[in-house]
């Protein structure tokens, strides 16, 4: 396909005529120009950033049909309805349609053999299994249809490094082979660096451009609070937000109903939402929430996908999510209007163990290990003593300053103390133990516990760190890891290992400032209503 030279005025005119917007957001325009030039694009944009326009508008500007691959059959209808409202010819093909309905859609595909018609479709939404499964629709398209573009939504599903791997997505590697000259645009809101590279590889992109928007959501503040006795804290918080809308996520369906009932008993306008409820009830509650008739939705993660409510002021998690991808997507539903919003997670260290079972994929050890690794990262985030926003952005492959000023860690008056000596003790313990032990063992060793192996008890550093409690050591070690002065190996039992800067510290060539929160401050922080 020959590229189309995009003219800015023309693109803006299309944006205005078909979508009613006056200007492009983020790098929408650059992405659209890349697509129109016939090149492949890898698009990372946070939820709500405006990914749809990046393929919908090119579909209008180009001659032929744009195929949109999406795994979310339940959302296809909404997207197509929205396009119809904008006067755009679109349809979806999936298992919910009768054969007859499917036949009618085929008749509206722009043909290679005859001229364009008014009622020809511009966009066709389809699931990967329908596109590439048994009946091989791709072959049909190749023979009969003028295809101008493939858009792969939720593109992270193609990668086993992602949190939502769907094997049927792997078939999409066929697209570039069968249609080498048709541009492909892959879009996702959640992909760490490795996942992104994998998407590009699996789709077989060669000449492509990668577009990344900052994932930072500056108007969202992040808080982690202890779960012990959280209900009273939660009520206090909700009281100070009684005019606001918010979402509370729970792990199980039963928990959503329990918590909603308990909140109702306290006079809050809260309703449960989960996939086990009748569709009629779900639709009604969602509708009421959108219209601000229900203030609080207590939901499983089934709630929120495809919902575009701009004035959600807080997102609360009563359990730790399974990975940072999910957490970031859920918290990202707060503050789409750009106003100050809060993400609060009530954390208990036991969550890690509770969730380990969810991280098991039957007969797939490799996949289980990846999920477990993601779960651990999530727990690390909860136990951070450094800026949470920095950690999140780094996780998604983005650089960030050391302090954001709007997460609980940055907001607490944490005192940075010269802890060089403690750091030296810890690092020398790791060195004496030959980097072959995990955090708990190293701490026991430092504290002179008699549970460590007898020959370790004869080493010089055994018991050198009695002055700090286990918890204190744990947070020092975590902070050393985050500062890069220590690292953890991958795998089920991560071992503590030294880094280049460890040696600098051991040699006395570098001082180490660590966070010490005075007990008094810690308590008042935990009690705080905010
Ligand atoms: P995503 O798929 O990235 O989550 P959407 O494509 O659904 O995001 O867009 C999110 C919201 O932003 C939608 O309500 C959409 O209409 C709106 N939007 C997208 N692009 C623009 C724009 N250029 N100007 C104004 N609003 C936009
Ligand atoms: Zn911060």
Give the number of the atom of ligand 1 that is nearest the alpha carbon of residue 24. 23
- pLDDT tens, N- to C-terminus, the chain (530 residues): 445 656 778 999 999 999 999 889 879 999 999 999 999 999 998 877 889 999 999 999 999 999 999 988 878 888 899 999 999 999 999 888 888 999 999 999 999 887 778 889 999 999 998 898 876 799 999 999 999 999 999 999 999 888 888 988 999 999 999 999 999 999 998 878 889 999 999 999 988 999 988 889 989 999 999 998 899 999 999 998 989 999 999 999 999 999 999 999 999 999 999 999 999 999 999 999 999 999 999 999 989 876 778 899 999 999 999 999 999 999 999 998 888 999 999 999 888 888 888 777 788 888 888 899 999 999 999 999 889 999 999 888 888 888 888 999 988 866 778 899 999 999 999 999 999 999 999 999 999 999 999 999 999 889 999 999 998 898 899 889 878 899 988 777 889 999 999 999 999 888 898 877 544 444 444 443 33
Report CA(406)–ligand 2 centroid distance (Å).
5
Residues in the chain: 530
Name the closest ligand to CA 221: 2
Report CA(395)–ligand 1 centroid distance (Å).
24
Report CA(71)–ligand 1 centroid distance (Å).
19
What is the DSSP pairing of strand 486-488 with strand 245-249?
unpaired
Which residue has a Cα nearest atom 23 of ligand 1? 24
Q: Is 405 left (phi over 0), alpha (psi -120 to 50) or beta?
A: left
Report d(CA 168, CA 157) in Å as an integer: 9
Structure ipTM over 0.85, yes or no: yes
Name the closest ligand to CA 386: 2
pTM: 0.68
Which residue is it, tokens 């909140």?
263
Euclidean distance between the first and the last CA atom of the chain, given in angstroms as a whole number: 56
Report d(CA 359, CA 282) in Å as an integer: 28
Candidates 52, 70, 307: which one to mutate for ligand 1, based on the most atoms within 8 Å of Cβ?
Answer: 52
Q: Which residues line ligand 1 (CB under 6 A)?
A: 21, 24-25, 28, 45, 47-53, 308
Report CA(318)–ligand 1 centroid distance (Å).
29
3-state helix, strand, coil in the chain (%, to 5): 45, 15, 40
DSSP one-letter string for 165-191: --GGGGGGGHHHHH-TTS-EEEEES--
The three-class DSSP label of residue 211 is strand
Closest CA to 90 of 73, 108, 74, 75: 108
Report CA(51)–ligand 1 centroid distance (Å).
7
Report d(CA 93, CA 385) in Å as an integer: 49
Candidates 14, 21, 49, 50: which one to mutate for ligand 1, based on the most atoms within 8 Å of Cβ?
Answer: 50
Name the closest ligand to CA 336: 1
Report CA(249)–ligand 2 centroid distance (Å).
23
């Amino acid at each position: 396909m020959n590229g189309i030279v995009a003219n800015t005025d023309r693109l803006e005119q299309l944006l205005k005529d078909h979508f009613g917007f006056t200007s492009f957001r983020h790098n929408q325009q650059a992405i659209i120009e890349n697509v129109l030039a016939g090149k492949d694009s890898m698009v990372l944009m946070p939820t709500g950033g405006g990914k749809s326009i990046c393929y919908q508008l090119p579909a209008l500007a180009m001659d032929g049909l744009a195929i949109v691959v999406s795994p979310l059959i339940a959302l296809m209808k909404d997207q197509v309805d929205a396009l119809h409202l904008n006067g755009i010819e679109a349809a979806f093909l999936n298992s919910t349609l009768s054969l007859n309905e499917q036949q009618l859609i085929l008749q509206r595909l722009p043909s290679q053999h005859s001229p364009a018609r008014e009622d020809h479709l511009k966009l066709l939404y389809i699931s990967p299994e329908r596109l590439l499964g048994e009946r091989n629709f791709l072959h049909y398209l190749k023979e009969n249809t003028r295809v101008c573009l493939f858009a792969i939504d939720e593109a992270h599903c193609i990668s086993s490094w992602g949190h939502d791997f769907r094997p049927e997505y792997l078939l999409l590697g066929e697209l570039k082979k069968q249609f080498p000259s048709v541009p492909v645009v892959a879009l996702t809101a959640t992909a760490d660096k490795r996942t992104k590279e994998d998407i590009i590889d699996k789709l077989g992109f060669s000449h492509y451009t990668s577009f990344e928007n900052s994932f930072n959501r500056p108007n969202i503040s992040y808080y982690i609070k202890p779960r012990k006795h959280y209900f009273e804290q939660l009520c206090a918080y909700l009281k100070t937000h009684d005019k606001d809308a918010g979402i509370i996520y729970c792990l199980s369906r039963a928990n959503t109903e329990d918590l909603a009932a308990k909140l109702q008993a306290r006079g809050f306008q809260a309703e449960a939402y989960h996939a086990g409820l009748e569709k009629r009830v779900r639709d009604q509650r969602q509708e009421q929430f959108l219209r601000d008739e229900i203030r609080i939705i207590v939901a499983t993660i089934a709630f929120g996908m495809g919902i575009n409510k701009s004035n959600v002021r807080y997102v609360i998690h009563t359990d730790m999510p399974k990975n940072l991808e999910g957490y970031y997507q859920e918290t990202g539903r707060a503050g789409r209007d750009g106003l100050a919003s809060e993400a609060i997670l009530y954390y208990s260290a036991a969550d890690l163990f509770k969730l380990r079972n969810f991280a098991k994929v039957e007969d797939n050890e490799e996949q289980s290990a990846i999920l477990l690794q993601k779960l651990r990262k999530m727990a690390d985030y909860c136990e951070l003593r450094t800026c949470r926003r920095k950690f999140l952005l780094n996780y998604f492959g983005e650089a960030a300053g050391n302090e954001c000023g709007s997460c609980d860690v940055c907001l607490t008056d944490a005192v940075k103390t010269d802890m060089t000596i403690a750091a030296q003790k810890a690092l020398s313990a790791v060195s004496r133990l030959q980097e072959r032990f995990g955090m708990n063992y190293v701490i026991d060793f430092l504290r002179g516990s008699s549970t460590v192996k007898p020959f370790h008890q004869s080493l010089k550093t055994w018991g050198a760190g009695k002055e700090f409690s286990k918890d204190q050591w744990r947070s020092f070690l975590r902070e050393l890891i985050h500062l890069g002065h220590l690292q953890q190996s991958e795998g089920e039992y991560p071992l503590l290992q030294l880094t280049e800067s460890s040696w600098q510290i051991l040699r006395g060539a570098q001082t180490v400032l660590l966070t010490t929160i005075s007990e008094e401050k810690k308590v008042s922080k935990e009690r705080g209503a905010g």
